[in-house]
Structure 1
Amino acid sequence: MCEVSRIPGLARLWERTRGVDRIVVAVVDGPVDDGHPAFRGASLGRLPGVWPKDEDRTSATTAHGTLVASVLFGQHDGPVPGVAPHCRGLSVPVFGRRATTSQLELARGIELAVEAGAHVINISGGQLSPPAAAEDALARAVRFCRDRNVLVVAAAGNDGCFCTHVPAALPSVLAVGALSATGRPMTTSNWGAAYQQQGILAPGENILGAVPGGGTTRCSGTSLATPIVAGVAALLLSLQVLAGRDPDPLAVRAALLANADPCEFDPEECVRFLSGTLNIERTVNAVTTEQFDELAEAVRKQPCGCGCDGTEPAAANVVGGDAPAVEAAPTTAADAVPAQRGPGVVTSAGNATAQPWTPLVYAVGVLGYDFGTEARRDSFQQLMGPAAESGANPYDARHMVEHLRAHPSEARALIWTLNLELTPIYAIEPVGAYAADVYELLVGLLAGEVTDEDDAAFVERIAVPGRLSGRTVRLFSGQVVPVVEVEQRRGLYGWEVNRLTAAAVAAVEAATTRPGEVDGAAVGTVLREFLTRVYYDLRNLGATSRDRALNFAATNAFQATQTLAAALGEGMALDTIDVEKSPFCRPDSDCWDVKLRFFDPENNRRARRVYRFTIDVSDVLPVTLGEVRSWSES
């Protein structure tokens, strides 16, 4: 049995701080029963507007989320004393009624937690996978945390094997394994090569936690060890704030790893100790001395190991491929027993206030539609009539377009979706005085998607500007997606690639001194490469400021055409696309610089050409600022 208050060094740390409200810890997990007595007096909120609120408090996911949150935020005058009771808590319930979720939803939760002002993100879950192999959306979300100096603390997993989970095994994450009451790794706690450099062990056996409805229980596993480490990190950040310093989560991560107790047993057993065991007292000393500045500076100079700084990632840190989803571990003492794997991600058992989350979306994807229920589908089939010799097929977009053009009001009865590949990420709902116009445009865009690919009107993808409504909708498959409200046609674009290619050819001809020698096919190839790079290589949910800027850059045909025209006129090809916070911006705006780098494929000694344009994403529809700037770089 482990009492949190008896963890070595924690009581002395509590004498200095039990946390400050400025430090925000997000719990990306199941829903939390915030009415439990353990949270009475806690600063604990929920991220609004993305996941449904009608969760069952008796579900395993609510039990798991409540348990993890209580280890973090339980008040010391209540039934469960938490590690960081005075820090601000943010519940991000990516696990709903189901015990599984997707890596895409996990990525959504991580990104939105960062946008909501989180300094530390606790993920007591993950997915068993090859070393550091994660879906692109999840890998990018973790890199986003690193770029924004947010610490992700994730469970190593309870499979009891030489194996790794994502996101715990991804670069810049702090992985947490579980210690038994004897001070040795629990037999169910995972170990692996990726964890040797970025993993730490913490108490995880028979930890006291809250049960929805008002009770308490004791549970074991990496799910419980993770909030202990996340809570200690939050307290160390609180010490920085109390000392008048800016919190530095990634430097605190480095301090926790550097000051962990090394294994003192034989080498064969030591492989299960990850990089060491949590040592609170030594880490506190490190964080509160001048040497911490040197450590923080070293962290800032470290390559990220993910290719974003021009370095190639180490073999163990290569990210990519599709991994199966993970399931929720039971929230009882049997949490230590590996659960059967299923199709989804699993739970493993400078301002004085947090930055407000602005629920704007500018997302790129494929337009689709859904019926929600069998009854709604059947009603469409009956109303559509004999659209073809074989009868109407409500799943055939061509039949649906024909029906909707004949009966425009029927468009309101569909659930319009925006999809990444075949996965719906949002439901699109036109609202306001111009809703009918937006529905009409959606029908036109759907018609463009089913047009022949050689046609000038062919729509490859669409871009959707809107606001997250705070509501969700359940699709026919049972998937729940957030609703994005679209108030007007302005900014709702279809990627008509064939027309855009023709415009690019014209722009190149206008920019070159030899217009008759312009290779239209080459221009089209480079343009498609640009659009494909954004969609496939940089796929995102369009909810963060950075991603809205990136998606708008790809959609803004005029800017892209002019930039590509200038580069192609010099015989260059697209190399990289970078987005970074602009150092200059108008008051009350949110400005980002999008940089396109071009190189000469026939002469690698020639200087690269950089084109930069600045985008303000503070409004529903982003806007470019100023002219495109360009320069050469070696």
Structure 2
Amino acid sequence: MVGVVGAEFQQEILFAFGGGDAEITIAVLDGPVDRTHDCFRGARLVPLDTAAARQCADGPATAQGTHIASLIFGQACSSVEGVAPLCRGLIAPIFRDDRPVCTQADLAQAIDMAVEHGAHIIHISGGVFEGRRQPTEALIAAVDRCNAANVLIVVGGARDSCGSLLLRCGAARLLPVGAIDRRGRLIGGGDISLRDIGITVPGAALIGAALEGSNRARRGANYAAALIAGVAGLLLGAQSQHGQTPDPGAAGEAILNSATPRMADRAQECQRAWIGRANIEAAAARLTGVLQDTSAVSPFGLWHRTQTSSRRSDHAAFRPRA
């Protein structure tokens, strides 16, 4: 039995390694993001002009994209504090408020743009994807560019995930993340197999930004995967701090290998779960070869030291929607 809800896991991993590194880039491929929310004030967010970015109407896609982005990039002392607020973010919408279906062409375009703009990690939320059985040449080519650039792709491991589609495209560094409740049961259930999920994390009641400046709790694999994408960014930042070249593929392996084995409800199936900060420390030790105590870092001391030396932020006043 896990005994941890998503909000508790979320709080447990906040400010690990001081909140990240401005040289590490995480791309979010989801809905548009309402960057007027107070949690993004000062965040290093770069909007990418994808096809879906031009169709913003403050609907379900924008609500989900805003929540996902806040889990990663929400700033310290704001209404939503993200796990990697100092990392650079690329906002590349693939879902639209007026048509919650992502074409393979839109997905390929967003992946290409993310790689072109220096993404180390790409988070892709689940949704409805057109033509999922047979990958297009454009999507295969986009995934090939991810492989060549050593980009880690983190996806929500759910029934509507694009993980299987990306596997058919030949994705070499793919990390599907499942969400579990307090009792360790897979959220979403149904025909989701633990064999199709890399790790599971507590994914119920994750607090994030909502439209009109409010906050709300959401649950599910997309939101759990956002936390792990942020954690991957933290691990790459830890590599940089130790004079090592950031290696997204190795970070993905470290995340997998530092998970805690737990028996699932289903017979003969075992899930690899992340429960708290100890998993981050174990992953960092595997990745850097250095044992680290993340609680020894003062989040505010490191926050201000890093903030003053970074490039100027692209904050919400520049462009309300991305």
Runs of 5+ consecutive residues of structure 2 not aligned to the other structure:
292-309, 312-322
- Residue 215 (structure 1) aligns with: 214
Contact 1:240 1:247 in 2 (8 A): yes
Asked whether the equivalents of residues 127 and 166 of structure 1 are also in contact (C-alpha less than 8 Å), the reply is no
How has the CA–CA distance of structure 1 residues 128 and 95 changed in structure 2, closer, same or farther, with 3 Å as cutoff? closer
Q: In 2, are the aligned partners of 1:232 and 1:280 still within 8 Å (CA)?
A: yes
2:233 maps to which residue? 234
| Map of 2:151 onto structure 1 | 150
Give the deviation of 1:186 after TM superposition: 1.9
Shift of residue 251 of structure 1?
0.7
Q: Indicate yes or no: 2:70 matched with 1:70.
A: yes
Q: Deviations over 1:63-89 (max 9, x none)?
A: 111011011111121111111111111
- Answer yes or no: is the 8 Å Cα contact 1:177–1:189 preserved in 2: no
2:104 aligned residue = 103
Match of 2:244 in 1: 245
Are residues 210 and 286 of structure 1, via their aligned partners in 2, closer, same or farther at CA, if it must alter by over 3 Å? Answer: same
Give distance in 2, aligned partners of 1:218 and 1:261: 26
Give 1:243 deviation, angstroms: 1.5
Aligned residue in 1 for 2:28: 27
Name the structure 1 match of 2:303.
Answer: none
Task: Specify the alignment match of 1:605 in structure 2.
Answer: none
**2:7 aligned residue (3, 10, 19):** 3
How has the CA–CA distance of structure 1 residues 222 and 15 changed in structure 2, closer, same or farther, with 3 Å as cutoff?
closer
| 1:17 partnered with 2:18 | yes
Report the equivalent of 1:447. Answer: none
| Cα distance between partner residues in 2 of 1:171 and 1:290 | 26
Rounded Cα–Cα distance in structure 2 between residues aligned with 1:21 and 1:172: 23
Length-normalised TM-score, structure 2: 0.78
Q: Which protein has the bigger strand share? A: 1
- Residues 593-624 of structure 1 deviation map (CA, whole Å, 9 limit, x = unaligned): xxxxxxxxxxxxxxxxxxxxxxxxxxxxxxxx
* Separation in structure 1 between the aligned mates of residue 280 and residue 131 of structure 2, nearest angstrom: 31
Query: 1:463-507, CA deviations, whole angstroms, 9 ceiling, x for partnerless residues?
Result: xxxxxxxxxxxxxxxxxxxxxxxxxxxxxxxxxxxxxxxxxxxxx
Q: Tell me how many residue pairs correspond in the alignment.
A: 282
**Separation in structure 2 between the aligned mates of residue 226 and residue 277 of structure 1, nearest angstrom:** 12
SS of 1:213's partner is helix
Q: How does 1:56-455 map to 2 (within 5 A)?
A: 56-57=57-58, 59-97=59-97, 98-126=99-127, 134-158=135-159, 165-167=164-166, 170-188=171-189, 191-192=192-193, 195=196, 199-265=198-264, 268=267, 270=269, 273=271, 276-278=272-274, 279-289=279-289
The alpha-carbon deviation at position 221 of structure 1 amounts to 0.8
Query: How many angstroms apart in 2 are the aligned matches of 1:158 and 1:206?
Result: 20
2:273 maps to amino acid = T
Q: Any idea what the Cα deviations from partners look like across 1:143-192, whole Å, max 9, x if unmatched?
A: 221110111101112469xx964337754211111111233322437634
- The secondary structure found in structure 2 opposite 1:69 is helix
Deviations 1:32-74 (A, max 9, x none): 00110111121112013755545112x1111111011011111
Tell me the secondary structure at the aligned position of residue 155 of structure 2. Answer: strand
CA contact (8 A) 1:159 1:189 kept: no
Q: CA RMSD in A?
A: 3.0
The superposition leaves residues 369-404 of structure 1 with CA deviations (integer Å, 9 ceiling, x where unpaired) of: xxxxxxxxxxxxxxxxxxxxxxxxxxxxxxxxxxxx
Q: Sort the Cα spacing of 1:131 and 1:174 in 2 relative to 1 into closer, same or farther, 3 A.
A: farther
CA contact (8 A) 1:157 1:189 kept: no
**1:183 is matched by which residue type in structure 2?**
G
CA distance in 1 between counterparts of 2:157 and 2:134 reads 14
Q: Quick one: which amino acid aligns to residue 281 of structure 2?
A: E
> Do the aligned partners of residues 209 and 82 (structure 1) sit closer, same or farther apart at CA in structure 2, a change above 3 Å counting?
same
TM-score (norm: length of structure 1): 0.41
Q: Is the 8 A contact 1:131 1:194 kept in 2?
A: no
Is the Cα–Cα contact under 8 Å of residues 189 and 222 in structure 1 kept in the other structure?
Answer: no
Residue 2 of structure 1, CA deviation:
2.6
In structure 2, the CA distance between the partners of 1:131 and 1:61, relative to structure 1 (3 Å rule), is: closer
Tell me by how many angstroms 1:281 deviates. Answer: 2.8
The separation in 2 between residues aligned to 1:168 and 1:227, in whole angstroms, is 19
How far 1:107 moved relative to its partner?
1.0
Q: Secondary structure at the match of 2:21?
A: coil
CA contact (8 A) 1:26 1:90 kept: yes
Distance 1:261 1:7 in 2: 19
Residue in structure 2 matched with residue 42 of structure 1 by the alignment: 43
Q: Tell me if the contact between 2:55 and 2:96 (Cα under 8 Å) persists in the aligned partners.
A: no
Aligned to 1:465: none
Q: Decide whether aligned partners of structure 1 residues 157 and 134 sit closer, same or farther in structure 2, where only a CA change above 3 A counts.
A: farther
Q: What is the DSSP-based 3-state SS (H/G/I as helix, E as strand, rest coil) of the residue aligned with 1:142?
A: helix
Distance 2:30 2:67 in 1: 10
CA distance in 1, matches of 2:244, 2:81: 27
CA displacement at 1:260 relative to structure 2: 1.4
What amino acid does structure 2 have at the position aligned with 1:64? Q
Whole-angstrom distance in 2 between the partners of 1:89 and 1:19 = 11
Residue 320 of structure 2 corresponds to which residue in structure 1?
A: none
Q: CA offset at residue 132 of structure 1?
A: 8.1
Partner of 1:477: none
Letter in 1 for 2:90: L
Structure 2 distance, partners of 1:225, 1:211, is 17
C-alpha displacement of 1:133: 5.4
Task: Report the residue type matching 1:231 in the other structure.
Answer: G
Is the 1:127–1:165 contact (alpha carbons within 8 Å) kept by the matching residues of 2? no
Consecutive unaligned residues in structure 1, runs of 5 or more: 292-351, 354-634
Q: Is the 8 A contact 1:72 1:85 kept in 2?
A: yes
- How far apart, in 2, do the equivalents of 1:85 and 1:211 lie? 17
Q: Distance in 2 between matches of 1:27 and 1:131?
A: 20
| Structure 2 Cα separation of the partners of residues 206 and 246 of structure 1 | 35
Following superposition, the deviation at residue 127 of structure 1 comes to 5.2
